[in-house]
Amino acid sequence: MQTEQLNGVASKPAYGPVELNPKSSFHLFVAEQLLPKAMECLYDACQPNEGRKEKAVVEDASDPELRNLLATFPLNGTLYLAGTEPFLWRVASHARALGLCPEQIRLMAPVTRERHLFCCHCHTITEGVTYSPYACSGCGAMLEVTDHFSRLHGAYFSFQANAEDSADMPEQREVN
Amino acid sequence: MSTIDQIDVKVVAIEQVAPMIKAFTLEPLKGELTPFSAGAHVVVEMDGSEQRYRNAYSLMSDPNDNRQYQIAVRLQETSRGGSIYMHDQVALGDELKISPPANLFAPAWRAKKHILFAGGVGITPFLSYLPLFKQREVEFELHYLFRSHQTGAYSAELAAEFGDQCCCYDADQGKRCDIAEVMSGQPLGTHFYICGPESLIEAVRATAEEMGIPASAIHWEEFAGAKPGLPFKVELSRQGIELDVAADSSLLEALEGAEVDIPNLCRAGVCGQCVCNVTEGEVEHRDSYLSDTEKQSGQVIMPCVSRAAGGRLVLDI
Ligand code: FES
């Protein structure tokens, strides 16, 4: 079945343990809410010989303050991010646009397993999703949640669950 | 490489652009050439009297020019002969066969600034970058290292055209490039490119590592190609034939000589196209494509550059 195939797509990000980059001259720790414990530990463990370190809480991924911090980012800096998955990837994509390389952006495992869903019918992003199917906040369609993740949108691809047979609504299941 | 893909070209100009470097201008026998992307190369086929050479050369003409391609060849007296053939045998009006362009060294267009390190004839791929850099108004610096007694093609023209953006270092005049100084203090989003001898590539990579510059911001192309080695025998188990690989011939060339077509793009152990399975015999790995684990497994070989460590190999072909 189509659904199973789509759910087999392996674009769901995997998050390994985050390590400090000892060669960096600037370490920037950014969290969406209070710095999670794991990030505090990392921050404390960071003892740059010559470099600097800084931490910031930024609720909005497009926050101008964050942009300012990144604007003066050195070529050998490292950015550490903590927060929800959409936040991580939105900040990461801003950082990429400013010129950071992928290995300069280190993501800690998301603090919740809530997903953002991208509806392929109306293009609305629905937030806080933990089970499938889930009603689209834009068009109301019951959406099948896939593991196909867009790093650009920070959201999972989803489509009408009972598109072929309106009577055939899949059973609700949790997504992790 | 299937011969259908090849393009017949004619040599319409040959110019000595440095004491050891000749530039060749190639025009198609019929039709037009395709435009190519900056950093692309072609594989030129040369029918020597004793063997057929196929060498990869960067295209250095303007990527948007589909009337002709230009390549430059540095005479490598100690190499296996392809460059000697180009220098001594190829004359104006001769016909050659080339592969369609392939690119393993394109600029990272997301970069905010590009820093190019060219060593000797390693200037060639960058010559195709420059018209685009100019057109797109991107920020760049060119650091050109050469020995004017041997190389240094176009250095005067480049210096005149690009002014401060082009720094020339002629080792024969005692001018050295301080790589660490060039690389330090560069802004976020800078990417570095190196084309030249292995020593230059290693020096830039080591400096980047030392400075904590991300590895993915460093791009390089070696103009190595296959180096000679000891002769050995290769058995193709499925075809049931045995071939001799001469000291100055690569395994890939030996296979091609026996009409065994192996896909290939770079002929320098970089692209991964030519991989073959090994069933017996030890391999001397010379490529930069396979991982260490793959190399240790002894089950695969990149025949464009690698050879048998002993006298014999069996390939699953
Ligand atoms: S042809 Fe590219 S690795 Fe052999």
**Interchain CB distance below 8 Å, A99 and B214:** no
Please state which of the ranges A2-11, A94-103, A163-172, B163-172 shows the lowest mean pLDDT. Answer: A2-11
pLDDT greater than 80 at residue B224? no
When the pLDDT of each residue in chain B is averaged and rounded to a whole number, the result is 93
pLDDT at B52 (0 to 100): 82
Residue B226 lies in a domain: no
Query: Using an 8 Å Cβ cutoff, are B13 and B46 in contact?
Result: no
* Selected residue of A25, A69, A101 to mutate for chain B interface (largest B Cβ count, 10 A): A101
Confidence of residue B228 (pLDDT cuts 50, 70, 90): confident
* Closest alpha carbon to A115 in A142, A72, A85: A85
A129/A103 same-domain check: no
pLDDT greater than 50 at residue B180? yes
When the pLDDT of each residue in chain A is averaged and rounded to a whole number, the result is 90
pLDDT at B3 (0 to 100): 45
Kindly report, residue by residue over B77-132, the tens digit of the pLDDT: 777 778 999 999 999 999 999 999 999 999 999 999 999 999 999 999 999 999 99
Q: Measured between alpha carbons, how far is B177 from A72 in angstroms, rounded to an integer?
A: 28
Q: Measured between alpha carbons, how far is B104 from B265 in angstroms, rounded to an integer?
A: 9
B89/B124 same-domain check: no
B29 touching A (Cβ < 8 Å): no
* Closest alpha carbon to B217 in A151, A87, A101, A142: A101
Q: Measured between alpha carbons, how far is B285 from B218 in angstroms, rounded to an integer?
A: 24
pLDDT greater than 50 at residue A137? yes
pLDDT greater than 50 at residue B2? no
Query: Using an 8 Å Cβ cutoff, are B37 and B64 in contact?
Result: no
- CATH number for the domain including B127? 3.40.50.80
B118/B217 same-domain check: yes
Q: Measured between alpha carbons, how far is B317 from B307 in angstroms, rounded to an integer?
A: 16
Domain count, chain A: 2
* Closest alpha carbon to B260 in B243, B272, B246: B243
What 8-state DSSP symbol labels residue B187? B
- CATH number for the domain including A49? 3.40.50
Residue B227 lies in a domain: no
Strands B312-315 and B166-170: unpaired
Q: Which residues of A touch B217 (CB under 8 A)?
A: 75, 101
Kindly report, residue by residue over A31-87, the tens digit of the pLDDT: 998 899 999 999 999 998 778 999 999 989 888 989 888 888 999 999 999 999 999
- CATH number for the domain including B272? 3.10.20.30
Kindly report, residue by residue over A85-132, the tens digit of the pLDDT: 999 999 999 999 999 999 999 999 999 999 999 999 999 999 999 999
A96/A9 same-domain check: yes
- CA torsion, ordered B216, B220, B226, B227, to nearest 10 deg: -110
Residue B108 lies in a domain: no
| Residue-range definition of the domain harbouring residue B193 | 113-221
Kindly report, residue by residue over B230-265, the tens digit of the pLDDT: 999 999 999 999 999 999 889 999 999 999 999 998
**Smallest Cα distance from A90 to chain B, Å:** 17
**Smallest Cα distance from A107 to chain B, Å:** 16
Q: Measured between alpha carbons, how far is A97 from B111 in angstroms, rounded to an integer?
A: 9
Q: What share of chain B has pLDDT > 70, as a percent?
A: 98
- Read off the tokens for A114: 């809530």
CA of B266 to the centre of ligand 1 (A): 5
Confidence of residue A3 (pLDDT cuts 50, 70, 90): very low
Residue whose structure tokens are 């020995």: B147
Residue B38 lies in a domain: yes
Domain count, chain B: 3
Closest CB to A103 among B187, B210, B215: B215
| Residue-range definition of the domain harbouring residue A86 | 2-107
B118/B83 same-domain check: no
Q: Measured between alpha carbons, how far is B196 from B20 in angstroms, rounded to an integer?
A: 15
- Read off the tokens for B23: 């530039």
A8 touching B (Cβ < 8 Å): no
Residue burial B289-313, b: 16+ Cβ < 10 Å; e: rest: bbeeebbeeeebbbbbbbbbeeeeb
Query: Using an 8 Å Cβ cutoff, are B216 and A102 in contact?
Result: yes
Whether B276 is in the pocket of ligand 1, judged by its Cβ within 6 Å, is no
B121/B211 same-domain check: yes
B180 touching A (Cβ < 8 Å): no
Q: Residue A80's beta-bridge partner residues? A: A29, A106
A165/A135 same-domain check: yes
* Closest alpha carbon to B226 in B56, B72, B101, B73: B56
Residue B168 lies in a domain: yes
Query: Using an 8 Å Cβ cutoff, are B316 and B237 in contact?
Result: yes
Residue B16 lies in a domain: yes
B140/B84 same-domain check: no
**Interchain CB distance below 8 Å, A75 and B188:** yes
Residue of A nearest to B187 (CA): A75
Map residue A102 onto helix, strand or coil: helix
Q: Measured between alpha carbons, how far is B133 from B188 in angstroms, rounded to an integer?
A: 18
Whether B285 is in the pocket of ligand 1, judged by its Cβ within 6 Å, is no
Task: Identify the domain boundary among B192, B221, B250.
Answer: B221
Residue of B nearest to A103 (CA): B214
A67/A125 same-domain check: no
Note the ipTM here: 0.85
Map residue A151 onto helix, strand or coil: coil
pTM: 0.89
CA of B303 to the centre of ligand 1 (A): 7
Burial of B73 (0-12, 13-18, 19+ CB in 10 A): buried
Query: Using an 8 Å Cβ cutoff, are A155 and A117 in contact?
Result: yes
Confidence of residue A7 (pLDDT cuts 50, 70, 90): very low
What 8-state DSSP symbol labels residue B91? -
B99/B20 same-domain check: yes
Residue of B nearest to A98 (CA): B189
pLDDT at B39 (0 to 100): 96
Please state which of the ranges A24-38, A48-62, B7-21, B133-147 shows the lowest mean pLDDT. Answer: A48-62
Residue B161, phi then psi, degrees to nearest 5: -75, -40
What 8-state DSSP symbol labels residue B88? H
- Read off the tokens for B235: 């058995």
Confidence of residue A6 (pLDDT cuts 50, 70, 90): very low
B206 touching A (Cβ < 8 Å): no
Task: Identify the domain boundary among B48, B76, B103.
Answer: B103
Strands A52-57 and A26-31: parallel
B76/B131 same-domain check: no
Q: Measured between alpha carbons, how far is B75 from B22 in angstroms, rounded to an integer?
A: 8
